């Protein structure tokens, strides 16, 4: 008898008909004699609608009430899934975050999981029942509902799998695994049988939304075997595993892109010690995360241009903060640009192979694409380019690194 967590994403539980199909997957595991915990997302599109309503009610909303509203999509679906399972003759009950309880920090809207009490779930298994858990939500130290950040049902699933000591955490979604690039953009993308935690973490954090970034972090830390698979077809998907489990490692395993960032250039900032601290300190204090940074010194040796990127959601606030500090920072101009995309090539093989970055730069130059900023890590190279070239760049790089499907 194995313990398995099965998580169904928004498109997999988009209406009652889909929930019924998902429930068949639960039934199949139960009939094999396994102990199954089900985690559900809201129906596709519902969370966006809830977020819109919150903004319409209060543009500068109270995050605690935001959580009360946006967590309801998952409440509906865990009730519906439990009902559908009961109709199939499988005893089941729903669990909301606070009922488990799945305890989180108090960072409403992006809370972190602190502790999961599995006593109720274990009891249900002993009674031969299937627990159905509302993803994305928990309870904060203030006793109020919290949510884990967009895409957060993946985190709920992995946190449960880790605490339950589950053999597998199945993530059912609308594609049949993790591909070398987003298959909706790159038609020649190939499904990977396995991907390392580290690569998956980079893919997710660089924009591949197939798994929520923090869920991968949590899986890596706790050694949870994550299996990304199709909810529509019964096919083997992609296993996220330790590096040792991958026999033949490609130099580049995947390419990701993100449209979620925007660029700001401060022109002619005085070039003297402390200038970067003066710019980025107040941004950090305001909770604005800065990603790529490029600094270039002018030929007069007295001023410098500083270019950096922030999340689009922080963009306006960031521009405002800098404009307010214009006199102290003493820059000549502020050039905002939200028409950019970040493209990243990822692979643990980069540690032992040179030339990956060079191949990227050459390919983009051959296509006439200008690189506006570069950043690297041990297993990743990212570049910033104009957004109109995103698809061209992705496809060209996919071919150059030998990733195209036959």
Measuring CA to CA, which residue among 203, 190, 194 is closest to residue 241? 194
Residue 73 interacts with ligand ASP (CB under 6 A)? Answer: yes
Q: Which does 152 bind (CB under 5 to 8 A by kind): ligand ASP, ligand ADP, Mg ion, none?
A: ligand ASP
182 binds, among Mg ion, ligand ASP, ligand ADP, none (CB under 5 to 8 A by kind): ligand ADP
Does residue 13 belong to the site contacting ligand ADP (CB under 6 A)?
A: no
CB of 260 to Mg ion, least distance (A): 14
Residue 271 interacting with ligand ADP (CB under 6 A): no
Alpha-carbon dihedral 18, 156, 27, 239, rounded to 10 degrees:
90
Q: Applying CB under 6 A, which of residues 78, 85, 103, 178 lies at the interface with ligand ADP?
A: 178
Tell me how far, at minimum, the Cβ of 218 lies from ligand ASP, in Å: 14
Residues in 125-154 at the binding interface with ligand ASP, rule: CB under 6 A: 135-136, 150-154
Instruction: Tell me how crowded residue 289 is: count the other CB atoms within 10 A of its CB.
Output: 11
Query: First CA to last CA across the chain, in angstroms?
Result: 39
246 binds, among Mg ion, ligand ASP, ligand ADP, none (CB under 5 to 8 A by kind): none
154-213 residues in contact with ligand ASP (CB under 6 A) are 154
With contacts defined by CB under 6 A, name the span among 41-49, 190-198, 250-258, 289-297 that binds ligand ASP.
41-49
When asked if residue 188 is in the footprint of ligand ADP (CB under 6 A), the reply is no
For residue 212, what is the DSSP state?
A: -
**Of all helices (H) and strands (E), which one includes residue 396?**
helix 390-400
Q: Report the residue from 65, 167, 174, 387 that binds ligand ADP according to the rule CB under 6 A.
A: 174
Out of Mg ion, ligand ASP, ligand ADP, none, what residue 302 binds, judged by CB under 5 to 8 A for its kind, is none
> CB of 64 within 8 A of CB of 33?
no
Contact 98, 133 (CB under 8 A): no
The interface partner of residue 237, options being ligand ASP, ligand ADP, Mg ion, none and the CB cut-off 5 to 8 Å by kind, is none
CA–CA distance, 230 with 170 (Å, rounded to integer): 10
User: Tokens for 212?
Assistant: 């929520």
Least distance to ligand ASP, CB of residue 291, Å: 21
- Partner in contact with 136, chosen from Mg ion, ligand ASP, ligand ADP, none, beta carbon below 5 to 8 Å by kind: ligand ASP
H helix count then E strand count, the chain: 13, 20
Q: Using CA atoms, how far apart are residues 163 and 179, in angstroms rounded to an integer? A: 28
Helix (H, G, I), strand (E, B) or coil at 328: helix
Residues linked to residue 137 through DSSP beta bridges, in sequence order: 147
Q: Which is nearer to ligand ASP, 180 or 258 (CB)?
A: 258
Is 184 near ligand ADP (CB under 6 A)? yes
| Residue 131, C-beta contacts closer than 8 angstroms, at least 6 positions apart | 37, 38, 92, 93, 95, 120, 121, 124, 125
| Region near ligand ASP per CB under 6 A, out of 24-32, 40-48, 303-311, 371-379 | 40-48
User: What minimum distance in Å lies between the beta carbon of 43 and ligand ADP?
Assistant: 10
Query: What is the Cα–Cα distance from 317 to 323, expressed in whole angstroms?
Result: 10
Determine, following the binding rule CB under 6 A, whether residue 226 of this chain makes contact with ligand ADP. no
Find where tokens 């008909």 sit: 17
Burial of 135 (0-12, 13-18, 19+ CB in 10 A): buried
Give me the least distance between CB of 158 and ligand ASP, in Å please. Answer: 12
DSSP string covering 93-127, please?
Answer: EEE-GGGTTEEE-S-TTS--EEEE--HHHHHHHHT
Q: How far is the CB of 341 from Mg ion (least distance, A)?
A: 20
CB of 184 to ligand ADP, least distance (A): 4
Compute how many residues bind ligand ADP; rule: CB under 6 A.
19
Q: Which residues bind Mg ion (CB under 5 A)?
A: 9, 151
d(CA 351, CA 310): 27
CB 190 within 8 A of CB 212: no
Q: Is 210 among the residues that bind ligand ADP (CB under 6 A)? A: yes
Q: Which residues bind ligand ASP (CB under 6 A)?
A: 9-10, 41-42, 47, 73, 135-136, 150-154
- Residues forming the site for ligand ADP (CB under 6 A): 9-12, 41, 151, 173-175, 178-179, 181-184, 208-210, 254
């Amino acid at each position: 008898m194995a313990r398995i967590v099965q998580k169904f994403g928004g498109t997999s539980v988009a209406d009652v008909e889909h929930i019924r199909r998902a429930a068949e997957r639960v039934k199949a595991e139960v009939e094999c004699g396994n102990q199954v915990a089900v985690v559900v997302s809201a129906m596709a599109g519902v969370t966006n609608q809830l977020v819109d309503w919150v903004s319409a009610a209060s543009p500068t909303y109270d995050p605690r009430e935001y959580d009360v509203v946006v967590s309801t999509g998952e409440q509906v679906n865990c009730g519906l899934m439990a009902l559908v399972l009961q109709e199939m003759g499988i005893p089941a009950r729903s669990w909301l975050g606070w009922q488990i309880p799945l305890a989180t920090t108090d960072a409403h809207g992006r809370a972190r999981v602190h502790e999961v009490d599995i006593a109720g779930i274990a009891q249900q298994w002993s009674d031969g029942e299937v627990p159905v858990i509302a993803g994305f939500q928990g309870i904060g130290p203030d006793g109020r509902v919290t949510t884990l950040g967009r895409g957060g049902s993946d985190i709920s699933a992995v946190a449960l799998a880790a605490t339950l000591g589950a053999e597998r955490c199945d993530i059912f979604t609308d594609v049949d695994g993790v591909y070398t690039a987003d298959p909706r953009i790159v038609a020649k993308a190939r499904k990977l049988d396995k991907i390392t935690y580290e690569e998956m973490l980079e893919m997710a954090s660089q924009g591949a939304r197939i798994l929520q970034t923090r869920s991968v972090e949590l899986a890596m830390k706790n050694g949870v075997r994550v299996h990304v698979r199709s909810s529509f077809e019964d096919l083997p998907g992609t296993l996220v595993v330790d590096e040792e489990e991958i026999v033949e490692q490609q130099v580049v395993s995947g390419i990701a892109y993100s449209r979620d960032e925007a660029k700001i250039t401060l022109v002619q900032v005085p070039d003297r010690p402390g200038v970067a601290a003066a710019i980025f300190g107040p941004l950090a204090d305001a909770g604005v995360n800065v990603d790529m940074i490029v600094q270039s010194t002018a030929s007069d040796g007295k001023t410098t241009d500083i270019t950096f990127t922030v999340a689009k959601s922080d963009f306006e606030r960031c521009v405002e903060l800098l404009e307010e500090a214009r006199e102290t920072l003493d820059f000549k101009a502020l050039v905002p640009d939200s028409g950019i995309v970040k493209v990243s090539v990822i692979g643990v093989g980069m540690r032992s192979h040179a030339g990956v970055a060079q191949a990227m730069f050459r390919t983009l130059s051959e296509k006439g694409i200008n690189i506006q900023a570069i950043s690297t890590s041990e297993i990743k190279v990212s570049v910033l380019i104009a957004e109109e070239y995103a698809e061209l760049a992705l496809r060209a790089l996919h071919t150059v690194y030998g990733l195209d499907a036959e």
